[in-house]
Structure 1
Amino acid sequence: MVSRLSQLDDVLAALADPTRRAIVERLLAAGELSVGDVAAPFAISGPAITRHLQVLERAGLIERRVERQWRYVRARADALMPVEGWLSHQRRHWTAALDRLEAIAAAQTPRRKKS
């Protein structure tokens, strides 16, 4: 079984490229698309799109299916869960840290007397 950190690393590495992020966003919005439809808005070669799709598939972000001569891909939204979990953990950590800092600053700030 792949560790959660390794899975997170794979997903973040795959999403580090703007073209791959755009592909995932397009698939999340549209559902399943043919590889040709995925490639249509990009000014890059077919082999380059194929390489991007391979990276996304290895990271578990998309899945493919073949129907006769057509190749279809769709996003796997559940593959984004490691990122969501990591972000949630970071949000809790930094919220708590900032709350502690705010409490320290408030305790050290002299109170003004009312006039």
Structure 2
Amino acid sequence: MSDTHTILFKTLSDPTRRAIFERLCREGDKTVGALTEHAGVSQPVVSKHLRILKQAGLVSGLHEGRQTHYSAQPDALSPLRDWTAQMAEFWEGRFDALENLLKRIDQ
């Protein structure tokens, strides 16, 4: 597994980070204050998670005056989509082989 995969999996393994990323995907740009309102954690904690999401390329920030508006970068998930597709193909092949074996045993 590549470093990119490891970074993405590790970043999204935290439920708070995943929730922040999902919210940005669903609702669009948000400030730290807006994200903190529904996060169930303090503003410094949200800021820490946003920093980690930015480092992984999953979030970007645009400074406007004294505030930063954060937005999700869903295309950053493409390495995970590719990996998932490869794993699905692998397991489908395994299940097909198992099905064929079971059919031969039944005969």
Q: What's the TM-score once normalised by structure 2's chain length?
A: 0.95
Q: Distance in 1 between matches of 2:28 and 2:40?
A: 22
Structure showing greater radius of gyration is 1
Secondary structure at the aligned position of 1:44 is classed as coil
Q: Distance in 2 between matches of 1:32 and 1:49?
A: 15
Unaligned runs of 5+ in 2: none
Structure 2 partner of 1:84 = 81
Q: Distance in 1 between matches of 2:37 and 2:77?
A: 25
1:32, distance to aligned residue in structure 2 (A): 0.9
> Structure 1 residue 31 and structure 2 residue 28: aligned?
yes
Structure 1 partner of 2:94 = 97
Give CA deviations for 1:41-98 in whole Å, capped at 9, x if unaligned: 0221111111101111111100011001111100001001111111100000000010
Aligned CA-pair RMSD: 1.1
- For 1:14, which of 11, 16, 27 is the aligned residue? 11
More helix by share: 2
Report how many residues are paired: 107
Unaligned runs of 5+ in 1: 111-115
- The percentage of counterpart residues that share the same residue type is 31
Structure 1 partner of 2:52 = 55
